Amino acid sequence: MSSDSLHTRHERLFQGNRFVYPVLSRRAGGLSIGVNLNPDKICNFHCVYCQVERADQSETRFVETERLLEELGQTLDLTVSGRIYGTEKFRDVPQHLRRVNDIAFSGDGEPTTHKNFDDVIAACAEVKRRIAPADVKMVLITNASMFHRPHVRRGLEKLDDNNGEIWAKLEAGTEAYFKLIDRTPISYQRILDNITEAASVRPLVIQSLFMRVHGQPPSPDELEAYCGRLNDITTAGGQLSLVQVYTVARSPAENFVTPLADGEVEAIAELIRRKTGLSAVAY
pLDDT of residue 8: 36
The span from the first CA to the last CA of the chain, in angstroms, equals: 39
pLDDT band of 6, cuts 50, 70, 90: very low
pLDDT greater than 90 at residue 233: yes
Cα 4 to Cα 8, 9, 10, 22, 64, distances in angstroms: 7, 9, 10, 21, 25
Strand partners, 165: 139
Name which residue leads in pLDDT, 28 or 10. Answer: 28
Q: Specify the range with the lowest mean pLDDT, choosing from 13-17, 26-30, 95-99, 126-130.
A: 13-17
SS (H, E, C) the chain: CCHHHHHHHHHHHHHCCCCEEEEEECCCCEEEEEEECCCCCCCCCCCCCCCCCCCCCCCCCCCCHHHHHHHHHHHHHHHHCCHHHHCCCCCCCCHHHCCEEEEEEECCCCHHHCCCHHHHHHHHHHHHHHHCCCCCEEEEEECCCCCCCHHHHHHHHHHHCCCEEEEEECCCCCHHHHHHHHCCCCCHHHHHHHHHHHHCCCCEEEEEECCEECCECCCHHHHHHHHHHHHHHHHCCCCEEEEEEECCCCCCCCCCEECCCHHHHHHHHHHHHHHHCCCEEEC
pLDDT of residue 1: 38
At residue 30, what are phi and psi to the nearest 5 degrees?
170, -155
pLDDT greater than 60 at residue 12: no
Q: How high is the mean pLDDT of the chain?
A: 91
Indicate the burial class of 111 (C-beta count within 10 angstroms; 0-12, 13-18, 19 or more).
Answer: buried
Interval 241-261 mean pLDDT: 94
pLDDT band of 9, cuts 50, 70, 90: very low
pLDDT of residue 5: 36
pLDDT of residue 106: 87
Q: Left, alpha or beta for 55 (phi > 0: left; psi -120 to 50: alpha)?
A: alpha
CATH number of 170-283: 3.20.20.70
Q: Where are the chain's structural domains?
A: 1-169, 170-283
pLDDT greater than 60 at residue 3: no
73-117 pLDDT, tens per residue?
Answer: 999 999 999 999 999 999 999 999 999 999 999 878 999 999 999
pLDDT of residue 16: 82
Q: pTM, whole model, 2 decimals?
A: 0.90
Interval 211-219 mean pLDDT: 97
- Is-contact 241 205, C-beta < 8 A? yes
148-163 pLDDT, tens per residue?
Answer: 999 999 999 999 999 9
